[in-house]
Amino acid sequence: MQPPRYPRDMTGHGPNPPDPAWPGGARVAVQFVINYEEGGENNILHGDPASEAFLSDIAGAQPWPGQRHWNMESIYEYGARAGFWRLHRLFTGAGIPVTVYGVATALARSPLQVEAMQNAGWEIASHGLKWVEHRDMPEDEERAAITDAIRLHTEVTGTRPRGWYTGRCSMNTLRLVAEEGGFDYVSDTYDDDLPYWRAVGARDQLVIPYTLEANDMRFATAPGYVTGDQFFTYLRDAFDVLRAEGHEGRPAMMTVGLHCRLAGRPGKLSGVQRFIDHIRQFDDVWCPRRIDIAHHWAAHHPPAPRAPRPSAMDRDTFVARFGGVFEHSPWVAERAYELELGPAHDSAAGLHSALARAFRAASQDARRAVLRAHPDLAGKLASAKRLTAESTGEQASAGLDALTDAERARFTELNTAYTARHGFPFIIAVRDHDKASILAAFERRLANDTATEFAEACTQVERIARLRLEEML
């Protein structure tokens, strides 16, 4: 039986994210998205069972099964008739290109707006076939909807979309879109401040995370924004933090999500206007389309060659690879394999956590056996060249393979006394030390009680394992 595996990635880029090397040395990339959904929302005219109820100025709206919701329809129509053009004037006037998340059926019903998007040089990414929930769609149905969205998008715009964002997605969406194979990026995640590559089968799919917080949708959700000033304040504060972090060596990306029927309203637009005025004060800001980010990331941070992932290995491979990390004790790797491994364990830190858990959970006798499996420092096994390759390299790193006769005699004396007193050899992570500090620790620890030394030796065994993993991975 396959042991438990946890698919979520809680590590990402980790504590030291890569430098994106944004063009012009920009410290932050600010990317604006306009969601064009008007005409693609739930509506019985579109073959849907009920009216739309999501993201409008009608508080607490509910679907109307089998009926047209005239007020809801008119709010969406405002986005197409007035809001879009207000946003279009704002961004073309500021000279900032945007990415449009275009619902294919909405684009098909708005040829004038599509022409304006294209004339402005905006990217039109796919926002799915219809602006409806995908969560309950069977895989085959959702796969067909993705195919139909690409077909219709291509008919309406003249080119297939290179970016994808569903929004109301299912747990299968990102995988299905990646499997389609023709997208430079997918944005159905909210999990990072930088793009990253995700392995989907044999394909490395670029993911450019989106946002639900620097997003005007919060004018239509609770808790949310009421005034344009609140929206501006949040955007400004997010930008200022990211820009400061960029100057500290961690440039990142900020996405601002907008909707024609929301930010296209005058009072709400004021917050976007003020934010644009704020960021234009600085010359270290890049305002690209998402496709520009995708091309830049692929050029500067292409996917790394795939290495076997510990969490995806079969048992025999895992134990063969990591069974020697704890000296002559493959059972530690065997027990670690049974834990809930996942992407978080595919690094030295993560795999060490799993192995250390298995070691710590073992009986005292089992852990003592691991201690006894370790060789004496500069002892008989070293002289006879019978150490493991790992131990040989470790002892050599501290100069223990080149002792004087007097030093060798002293190590032998200490080894004998320590083992006689505690019942296991003296263990220390020699890569953290030199010969002098090892001898000093040896002499200091010899006088400790056995319980103290047992705990210290176990700590040192875990440290040795961590250093070995860092070298291996």
Active site residues: 374
- Residue 128 CA to residue 107 CA, distance in Å, equals 11
Query: Taking the CB of residue 207, how many other CB atoms lie within 10 A of it?
Result: 22
Secondary structure letter of residue 223 according to DSSP: S
- Residue 26 CA to residue 31 CA, distance in Å, equals 13
Comparing CA positions, the residue from 457, 427, 452 lying closest to residue 367 is 457
**What are the tokens at 81?**
């008739």
Helix (H, G, I), strand (E, B) or coil at 401: coil
- Residue 353 CA to residue 462 CA, distance in Å, equals 9
Comparing CA positions, the residue from 108, 45, 47 lying closest to residue 72 is 45
**What are the tokens at 322?**
């990591």
Secondary structure letter of residue 306 according to DSSP: P
- Residue 180 CA to residue 126 CA, distance in Å, equals 13
User: Which residue type is seen at 439?
Assistant: L
Helix (H, G, I), strand (E, B) or coil at 291: helix
- Residue 424 CA to residue 451 CA, distance in Å, equals 12
Kind of pairing, strands 196-200 and 203-207? antiparallel
